[in-house]
Amino acid sequence: MGGNMQSDTIAAIATPPGTGGVAVIRISGPDAEAVLKRVFPRDSFAHGQMVYGSVRREGELLDMVMAVMFYAPKSYTGENTAELHCHGSAVGVRQVLDYVLECGARPAGPGEFTRRAFLNGKLDLSQAEAVCDFISASSQAGAKASLGQLAGKLKERVLAYQDQLTDALAQVEAVVEYPEEDLEEETAEKLLPVLKEMREGLFALAGTYRAGRIAREGLRVAIAGKPNVGKSSLLNALAGMDRAIVADVPGTTRDTIEQSINIGGIAIYLTDTAGIRNAKDKIEAQGVKRSENAINESKLAIFMLDGSGEITEEDHLAMRALKKSEADLLVVLNKLDACERLSEEDVKREFGMSPLRISAKTGAGIDALKQRLLEYAEQDKTAGEILITNERHVFALRQAAGQIGEAIRAMEEGIDMDCVTIDLNAAWASLGEVTGKTVSEEIIDRIFTKFCLGK
């Protein structure tokens, strides 16, 4: 979609498919105004001013719409852009779009409007990617992280690091250019603290990816343990509703039950698993297998124990299944409301972990458990307001930190300053991959094909 296709005028429906109050058709490119005037005849438009009127094809009324023009460079794409606000009829808006295409526009590809905004300098690549993340955000935390990126917070941080690298390069190049001045030692002494601080800052920023990914995608939590420890009651208590059937019969939950909740703006996807035990029949065995799969797909597993009973072989069987997975573990001691037979010390001695005491039945300790889940989701949130939510960014930041590390090593070992120049230039280019300054056309293509049509 690069090259001369940038000079085409493109059009697409920018609102979700289906029926609604309003549907918006977006048109962008050098002929946007001419196309709009063919579809919606009018002598002239004022920038950003909505005009009411009709769209007619050969006299036949297609819709009554609001039309607006945004002239370059004051538009989303940085080029002439028009919008038609139609009634939200799936059939009607399609007819209007077909007419727009007949009048000189071509169908836009996925993300092509935002791609043009990037190519015209309205957004850097990290901001363009944030548009996609914001649209697909599953929680307030995900939306907040992508909005911060869209506002340019990551771009500003990266550009500041690049400025520091440019300054460092100027000093190193002076050493290379004027060897007779014997500035190597003095320059290294001045630059080493700066470069070390930069490397640590980049690693810290990359380290927010864990929290950023959870903010974007939500946190998957499996509730696991032997049958009848109160897993379904805990799901209901956390969700604040009766989502799972609760009974005193072991093995009531034969399949996994999922429920999403929101804690502190983060989406938590809870899975109530079938009790892990040596199954007596094929159906129960299938439920246990699905439980194990759900645990493997989770980032965190809540291991439940029954505080009114004693630790049994089935508890150990469940713990062995949990330890085989890559999920982190949080131990919960349930039935605080019943006669306590199991102490926190007993659990710690048996499993090496301190439990959180709760009653899924009365709700005691549930708020403390929610707080623990939030703390788990937000740990490593160390770089101020910026959260890295994109794997491509984290790779580029770590790569830049590694290259700065190589420059530090070369300086400390007294290796030729030419090598330091190569490493610092490489780090500058790695950071440029975040903003799009040094990224390849192929990567740009790959990024924008993930976007929805009309954005």
- Residue 400, phi-psi category: left (phi > 0), alpha (psi -120 to 50), beta (remainder): alpha
Task: Provide CB contacts within 8 A for 186, sequence distance 6+.
Answer: none
Query: Between the CA of residue 440 and those of 123, 155, 290, 453, what are the distances in Å?
Result: 17, 18, 42, 23
Whole-angstrom distance, CA of residue 43 vs CA of residue 40: 10
User: Residue 2: helix, strand or coil by DSSP?
Assistant: coil
What digits encode the pLDDT tens for the residues 150-191? Answer: 889 999 999 999 999 999 999 998 888 877 666 788 888 999
**Pair of tokens at residue 55:** 């769209």
Chain mean position to CA 263? 17
**Pair of tokens at residue 249:** 């019969």
Q: What is the pLDDT along the chain (455 residues), one digit of tens a residue?
A: 444 456 899 999 999 888 889 999 999 999 999 999 999 999 999 999 999 999 999 999 999 999 999 999 999 999 999 999 999 999 999 999 999 999 999 999 999 999 999 999 999 999 999 988 888 887 888 888 888 888 899 999 999 999 999 999 999 988 888 776 667 888 889 999 999 999 999 999 999 998 888 888 899 999 988 888 888 889 989 988 654 444 444 444 445 688 889 998 999 999 888 665 555 545 455 656 667 777 888 889 999 999 888 899 988 988 988 888 888 999 999 988 777 788 888 889 999 999 999 998 889 999 999 999 999 988 866 546 788 989 999 999 999 999 999 999 999 998 888 999 999 999 999 999 999 988 888 888 888 888 887 88
Percent helix, strand and coil across the chain, each to the nearest 5: 50, 15, 35
What pLDDT sits at residue 49?
A: 97
User: For residue 150, which of 389, 316, 365, 324 has the smallest C-alpha distance?
Assistant: 389
Residue 132 phi/psi, 5-degree rounding, is -65, -45
What pLDDT sits at residue 454?
A: 81
Whole-angstrom distance, CA of residue 181 vs CA of residue 178: 6
**DSSP-H helix ranges across 231-378:** 231-239, 282-297, 313-324, 344-351, 366-378
What pLDDT sits at residue 101?
A: 97
What pLDDT sits at residue 288?
A: 62
**DSSP-H helix ranges across 325-358:** 344-351
**Pair of tokens at residue 151:** 């506002």
What pLDDT sits at residue 251?
A: 46
What pLDDT sits at residue 4?
A: 45
> What is the residue-wise DSSP string for 125-151?
HHHHHHHHHHHT--SHHHHHHHHHHHT
What pLDDT sits at residue 253?
A: 44
DSSP state of 47: B
What pLDDT sits at residue 89?
A: 92
Q: Give all domains of the chain, ordered by start, each with its CATH number.
A: 3-124 (3.30.1360.120), 134-208+386-436 (1.20.120.430), 215-378 (3.40.50.300)
User: Residue 254: helix, strand or coil by DSSP?
Assistant: coil
User: Residue 86: helix, strand or coil by DSSP?
Assistant: strand
What is the pTM for the complete model shown? 0.78
